[in-house]
Amino acid sequence: MKGKRMIKLAVLSTILSFLLVIPALGQVTEDLGKKLCEFKAKTFKELKISSDNEKKLTEMEEKCMTARQEILARLKKNKEDLQAALAAPNPDEAKVKALIKAFNAAQVDLFNSYKSELDAELALMNPIQQGKYLMALERWRLDVCLPTH
């Protein structure tokens, strides 16, 4: 009797811990996106990007973020569907194969959205600004995304 109660308490504790962590993970992602936007805005000013181009860059960033949210939602759904299919006692290979294809396609779309945005940003800069911008992005990536480099 006591053993079952301990197991139930352990399961309940695990579930509550998991539920408390989920919002924090979403917040980290949101905070990281905000930090990147702020960093880019600051960098554009440092690079003396013209006000017209700075406005275009800001509009582009907002448009890309909206598109990325849709891609991320699709990627999350694809991941959940794939996990569910793989959790079945006898996973259907054809279904898993289709889900892998959808999951990979969403990842490619996400990658391409970042690449397209960078290409469009660089098109609005001269070569010196481009070089400085790329170095600033690399510094930010190392400092924020990989702080233990």
Taking the domains of the chain in order of start, what are their residue ranges? 34-145
- Which is more confidently placed, 140 or 147? 140
* Domain covering 34-145: architecture: Up-down Bundle (1.20)
Q: How far is the C-alpha of 133 from the C-alpha of 118, rounded, in Å?
A: 10
Q: How far is the C-alpha of 118 from the C-alpha of 115, rounded, in Å?
A: 5
pLDDT for the residue 28: 41
In degrees to the nearest 10, what's the CA dihedral of 82, 86, 89, 90?
90
pTM above threshold 0.85: no
pLDDT for the residue 3: 58
Least confident piece of the model among 19-28, 98-107, 127-136: 19-28
13-26 burial, b at 16+ Cβ within 10 Å, e below that, comes to: eeeeeeeeeeeeee
pLDDT in tens, 56-103: 888 888 888 888 888 989 999 999 999 999 999 999 999 999 999 999
